[in-house]
């Protein structure tokens, strides 16, 4: 179950990075156009060329002008590398993380016999805190700490759950 969470975190991060890169491409191109001398043709086709999807773009939009390229790279839900598609995929991975953590917590309580909502071991407490934090998380919380910092902290906390799980159930306890 935890490997599924790690996989979802990885892909959520990749999709967010991809969306950021596309946004940066568009921003840089728009900035370069502002500095271009009057009469210089706009360079939108190279932007689509860098994605490797020129053929797909030409089938759907034809001419590589500002409106078409921005629509394709930003809002085209049928294009899997558009910003909107990447952010939707990242959101689905985030949902799967929450679901997996709830399932792990339920299973843990079944194993220990501790009622849900309470804790008797360090791993139950650690996992319960993580789940509660994720249940009440807002996008403002993520943006306040920074996306990279949030993902790092989430991975650190997942590792802590794994460590406590190992200590609670698999570590050899000294005989007294």
CA distance 163 to 172: 14
Mean pLDDT of all residues in 15-19: 89
- Please compute the mean of the pLDDT values over residues 6-17 and round it to a whole number: 85
* pLDDT tens sequence across 52-105: 999 999 999 999 998 999 999 999 999 999 999 998 898 888 888 888 888 888
| Its pTM surpasses 0.85 | no
Give DSSP secondary structure letters for 70-120.
HIIIII-TTSTTSHHHHHHHHHHHHHHHHHHHHHHHHHHHHHH-PPTT--S
CB 14 within 8 A of CB 85: no
pLDDT, averaged across the chain: 86
Domain layout of the chain by residue ranges: 2-83, 96-169
pLDDT in tens, 44-63: 899 999 999 999 999 999 99
Cα 107 from chain centre: 25
Q: Contact 75/82 with Cβ under 8 angstroms? A: yes
Give the tens place of pLDDT for each residue, 116-166.
889 999 999 999 998 888 888 877 887 788 777 887 888 788 888 888 988
Percent of the chain with pLDDT over 90: 32
Cα–Cα distance measured from residue 150 to residue 175, given in angstroms and rounded to the nearest whole number: 40
């Amino acid at each position: 179950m935890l490997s599924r969470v790690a996989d979802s975190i990885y892909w959520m991060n990749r999709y967010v990075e991809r969306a950021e890169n596309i946004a940066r491409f568009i921003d840089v191109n728009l900035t370069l156009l502002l500095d271009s001398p009057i009469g210089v043709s706009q360079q939108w086709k190279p932007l689509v060329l860098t994605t490797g999807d020129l053929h797909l773009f030409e089938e759907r939009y034809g001419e590589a002008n500002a409106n078409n390229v921005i629509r394709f790279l930003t809002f085209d839900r049928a294009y899997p590398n558009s910003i909107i598609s990447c952010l939707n995929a990242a959101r689905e991975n985030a949902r799967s993380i929450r679901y997996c953590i709830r399932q792990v917590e339920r299973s843990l309580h079944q194993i220990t016999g501790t009622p849900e909502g309470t804790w008797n071991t360090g791993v139950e407490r650690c996992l319960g805190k993580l789940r509660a934090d994720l249940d009440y998380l807002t996008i403002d919380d993520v943006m306040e700490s920074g996306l990279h910092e949030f993902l790092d902290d989430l991975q650190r906390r997942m590792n802590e759950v794994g460590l406590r799980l190992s200590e609670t159930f698999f570590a050899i306890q000294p005989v007294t």
